[in-house]
Amino acid sequence: MSDAAAPSFRLDDRVALVTGGSRGLGREMVRAFAAAGADVVIASRKLPNCESLAREIEAETGRRALPVACHVGDWAQCDELVEAAYAHFGRVDVLVNNAGMSPLYPSLEELDEALYDKVFAVNLKGAFRLTARVGARMAAGEGGSILNVSSLAAAHPSPMMLPYAAAKAGLNALTRGFAHAFGPRVRVNCIQAGSFLTDISKSWPMDLVKAEHEARFAMKRPGNPEEVVGAALYFASEASSWTTGAILPVDGGMP
C-alpha cells in the first residue's frame, strides 16, 4: 500500500465531544484526539476537572478545548451539552459516549430502585439522548463518527454487576440500531472494554484481579488506560470509513 492510500488516523480541524472525558479512558481519548488535530469538548459531572484538563490540552497541543459540566443521566443536561458544543464550535464530528458507572450493592434483593434507575440513566439513557441529538445533526450535515464505550460485562454478566451489564448490553444494541438509523453518513461503533487500570481500579482487590487475568485472559493482565487509544482513533477517524455497527472487544483476550 502506498503512503497516499494508507488510512489516515488524523482528526485535523474536527471537533470531538467526549463524555466522562476528564478521567480514565475518556481522558486518554481526549488527549489522543487533540494530539491528532481535533478540538475537544470535555464533559463530566465535575467542571473543575474538565477545566483543568482543558487547560492542559490547549497548552500542550494548541487545540481548543471546551469544558462542560454534564450529568448524562439527565436528558435536559444532555441537550444543554449538545447546544453548548454547537454554539462554541459550530459542529461535532466525533461523539464518544464514555460516561458510565458500576456501583456496588449488597445483594440483588437489596438493590434499590433509585440505584437501578441511576445505573441505567448514566450508562444507557444519556448515550441514547446524545446519539439521537448529535447523530441527527451529523446525518443532516457532513456526517461523523459516534463511538460508544461498552463493557465485557455486557457479554459476561456477573451477579454483582447485573444492572450495569444489562445497561451495557443495551448500549451494544443502540450501536447497531443507530448505525442503521443514521447511516450511511454517520458511523456508529462500540469499544467493548475490559478491565483498565484507571483511577477507579484503585479500589479493586488487585490480587484477585491479577489472578483472574492470569487464569482467564490471553494477555494475562489488565489494560493500561492509554491502550484504548488505538481503537478509539480508528473508530473516530476515516481509517474506519467502511466500519459501522461494530462491537470491538478491547479486553486483553477474554475467552
4 within some domain: no
Confidence at residue 217, expressed as pLDDT on a 0 to 100 scale: 83
Confidence at residue 216, expressed as pLDDT on a 0 to 100 scale: 84
The boundaries of the domain holding residue 199 are 10-249
Confidence at residue 148, expressed as pLDDT on a 0 to 100 scale: 98
- Domain total of the chain: 1
Confidence at residue 18, expressed as pLDDT on a 0 to 100 scale: 98
100 within some domain: yes
Task: Identify the burial level of 181 via C-beta atoms within 10 angstroms of its C-beta, where 0-12 means exposed, 13-18 middle and 19 or more buried.
Answer: middle
2 within some domain: no
List the grid coordinates of 189: 461503533
Cα 112 from Cα 117, distance rounded (Å): 9
Task: Identify the burial level of 88 via C-beta atoms within 10 angstroms of its C-beta, where 0-12 means exposed, 13-18 middle and 19 or more buried.
Answer: middle
Using the structure block, give the residue that is written with the C-alpha cell 446519539. Answer: 131
Confidence at residue 57, expressed as pLDDT on a 0 to 100 scale: 98
Residues recorded for the chain: 255
171 within some domain: yes
Task: Give the tens place of pLDDT for each residue, 23-59.
Answer: 999 999 999 999 999 999 999 999 999 999 999 999 9
Check whether 1 has a pLDDT greater than 90.
Answer: no
45 within some domain: yes
Confidence at residue 4, expressed as pLDDT on a 0 to 100 scale: 58
3 within some domain: no
Confidence at residue 208, expressed as pLDDT on a 0 to 100 scale: 77
Could you tell me how far CA 172 lies from the centroid of its own chain? 12
219 within some domain: yes
Q: What is the DSSP string of the chain?
A: --GGGSPP---TT-EEEEETTTSHHHHHHHHHHHHTT-EEEEEES-HHHHHHHHHHHHHHH---EEEEE--TTSHHHHHHHHHHHHHHHS--SEEEE--------S-TTT--HHHHHHHHIIIIIHHHHHHHHHHHHHHHTT-EEEEEEEEGGGTS--GGGHHHHHHHHHHHHHHHHHHHHHTTTEEEEEEEE--B-SGGGGGS-HHHHHHHHHHH-TTSSPBPGGGGHHHHHHHHSGGGTT--S-EEEESS---
Task: Give the tens place of pLDDT for each residue, 70-127.
Answer: 999 999 999 999 999 999 999 999 999 999 998 889 999 999 999 999 999 999 999 9
Task: Give the tens place of pLDDT for each residue, 156-201.
Answer: 998 989 999 999 999 999 999 999 999 999 999 999 999 888 876 5
In degrees, rounded to 5, the angle at the alpha carbon of residue 244 between the alpha carbons of residues 228 and 19 is 45
Q: In CATH, what number is assigned to the domain containing residue 150?
A: 3.40.50.720
Confidence at residue 205, expressed as pLDDT on a 0 to 100 scale: 63
Active site residue ranges = 164
Check whether 2 has a pLDDT greater than 60.
Answer: no
What is the CB neighbour count within 10 angstroms for residue 37? 17
203 within some domain: yes
Task: Give the tens place of pLDDT for each residue, 202-243.
Answer: 655 667 767 777 778 889 998 999 999 999 999 999 999 999
